[in-house]
Amino acid sequence: MRTLLQTLVLIISTSLLSPATPQTATKPKPPVRKPATSAPVATAEPTAIIHTTAGDLHCTLFPKVAPIGVENFIGLASGTKNWTSPVSHAKKHGVPLYDGTIFHRVIASFMIQGGDPKGDGTGDPGYKFKNETSPNVTFDRPGRLAYANAGPDTNGSQFFITEVPYPSLNGKYTIFGQCDDDAVELVKKIARMAKDGERPLRPIKITHIEIHRAGTSSKPAAPKPSPAVKKPS
């Protein structure tokens, strides 16, 4: 019995003195970089960012619907189209028409109107061009970007952006773009400024219109009164 106890003690002592079997170290996971957020998808149509003293209005232009109107807007915005000042009657070349102009006519639950180099609703760029309307693009939603006129085929530089759908304008005004939801919210804000009649007491100014050609990206991817009629000179 004594011999058996001595053998057990020897076995236990030997096991305690033996080095522990090393455990396999867990390899730390290598640092993983999250993939970069996808860049904004290039637009299929040209876009315009109308920078104003109240914020920016982002709009997609419709060259397939209104080729003359879009070309005119881009030319006047970028200064590549010649125009005549209705104030000084000087010929302008290389001068963006819209820079410094104001939204001279604003009506809540309808639209805001600007683009007059004279600033009172009677100005134009010294020429007129015809209407371009389509039954497929109508005033069926907010944010329509369209030319104001004084009758058929009298488009120039003045434009308006609708706050709400306004079907009574269909077939009478050239729609040449669509502004996004944020732009419509800004339109609502501008349309509710303090004003004298339809003219704001402190009009919002267009500082510059930035044009992005088709294939480039500009932003990650988005009334009972009388219609927008230009006052006769």
Query: pLDDT tens track of the chain, all 233 residues?
Result: 555 555 544 444 444 444 444 444 555 555 544 444 444 455 689 999 999 999 999 999 999 999 999 999 999 999 999 999 999 999 999 999 999 999 999 999 999 999 999 999 999 999 999 999 999 999 999 999 999 999 999 999 999 999 999 999 999 999 999 999 999 999 999 999 999 999 999 999 999 999 998 776 555 544 445 555 555 44
Q: Which CATH number fits domain 47-212: 3.60.20.10, 2.40.100.10, 3.40.50.2300, 3.90.1150.10?
A: 2.40.100.10
Which distant-in-sequence residues (6+ apart) come within 8 Å of 217 by Cβ? 39, 40, 41, 42, 43
- Among residues 102, 108, 137, which one has the least CA distance to residue 120? 102
**How far is it between the farthest Cα atoms of the chain?**
128
Domain boundaries, the chain: 47-212
The predicted structure's pLDDT at residue 231: 53
The predicted structure's pLDDT at residue 19: 43
47-52 vs 206-212, strand pairing mode: antiparallel
- Among residues 219, 216, 213, 128, which one has the least CA distance to residue 174? 128
The predicted structure's pLDDT at residue 32: 45
d(CA 124, CA 154): 10
Q: Are 47 and 59 in contact (CB under 8 A)?
A: yes
The DSSP result for the chain, as a single string, is -HHHHHHHHHHHHHHHHSPPPPPPPPPPPPP-PPPPPPPPPPPSS-EEEEEETTEEEEEEE-TTT-HHHHHHHHHHHHT-S-EE-TTT--EESS--SSTT-BEEEEETTTEEEE--SSSSS----S--B----BTTB-S-STTEEEE-BSSTT-B-S-EEEESS--GGGTTTS-EEEEE-HHHHHHHHHHHTS-EETTEESSPPBEEEEEEE-TTS-SS-----S---BPPP-
The predicted structure's pLDDT at residue 12: 46
- Among residues 132, 2, 144, which one has the least CA distance to residue 71? 132
199-200 vs 159-162, strand pairing mode: unpaired
d(CA 75, CA 72): 5
Tokens of 35: 């993939």
Tokens of 168: 């009574």
The predicted structure's pLDDT at residue 44: 87
d(CA 140, CA 69): 20
